[in-house]
Amino acid sequence: MKRSQSWVGNTDEMLDRIRPSPIHRAIITAAILLSAAIVIGEWFTRPSPDRFHATPHNGGMMVLDAATGMVGFCAPDGDRVHCTKRDHHSGPLEAF
């Protein structure tokens, strides 16, 4: 009597049908890495809510970027606001 073949069939043949080719694997890997890079980049470049601190000073605002330590001064200039970077301080800042 002839032995019947299992309904599952040859596992290797089935895997060969669903296994991605090397080029498809490379595309999938690149897509995953690109997606991860975009998400991580967005996470690191998003400013935190406590990054910038502003204090009124001489008719404008002294602005501190807590992430870089840079200080700037912003003041109204007609219908615009003009900001300048204050990087000439070599010592501690004086109290406003």
Domain ranges of the chain: 11-45, 52-86
CB atoms within 10 A of CB 61: 17
**What average pLDDT does the segment 21-37 reach?**
91
Hey, what are 95's tokens? Answer: 């109290």
**What average pLDDT does the segment 1-26 reach?**
72
pLDDT band at 29 (very low <50, low <70, confident <90, very high): very high
Which positions ≥6 away from 73 have C-beta within 8 Å?
Answer: 57, 58, 60, 61, 62, 63, 83, 84, 86
Task: Tell me the pTM.
Answer: 0.39
